[in-house]
Amino acid sequence: MPHHKSAEKRLRQTEKRTAVNRARMSRVRTFVKKVETAISSGNKAAAETALQAAQPELHRATSKGVMHRNTVARKLSRLAARINAL
């Protein structure tokens, strides 16, 4: 437990920030899962629209500092390659 006022404040801020970051990562995972289910069903049109919806969400995670930009670029590239292979 924190013993200083500033440490107590940091604890409160960290808890809030953690909750926000968890929610963001959960949204990203949901959008990526939608793309992957569309790919596994073999529906190229649905997969492309799901990827179009997932892209801004992944880029938002980058801009908010939840994910690294190279990680996002890699994930988008791999999803796009799998869609093109359909």
- pLDDT tens track for 10-55: 999 999 999 999 999 999 999 999 999 999 999 999 999 999 999 9
Q: Give the closest residue to 48 by CA, choosing from 61, 39, 57.
A: 39
Beta carbons of 30 and 39 less than 8 angstroms apart: no
Provide the percentage of residues in the chain whose pLDDT is more than 90. 97
Residues of the domain holding 28: 5-84
The count of domains in the chain is 1
Q: What is the mean pLDDT of the chain?
A: 96
Beta carbons of 23 and 32 less than 8 angstroms apart: no
Residue 1 above 90 pLDDT?
no
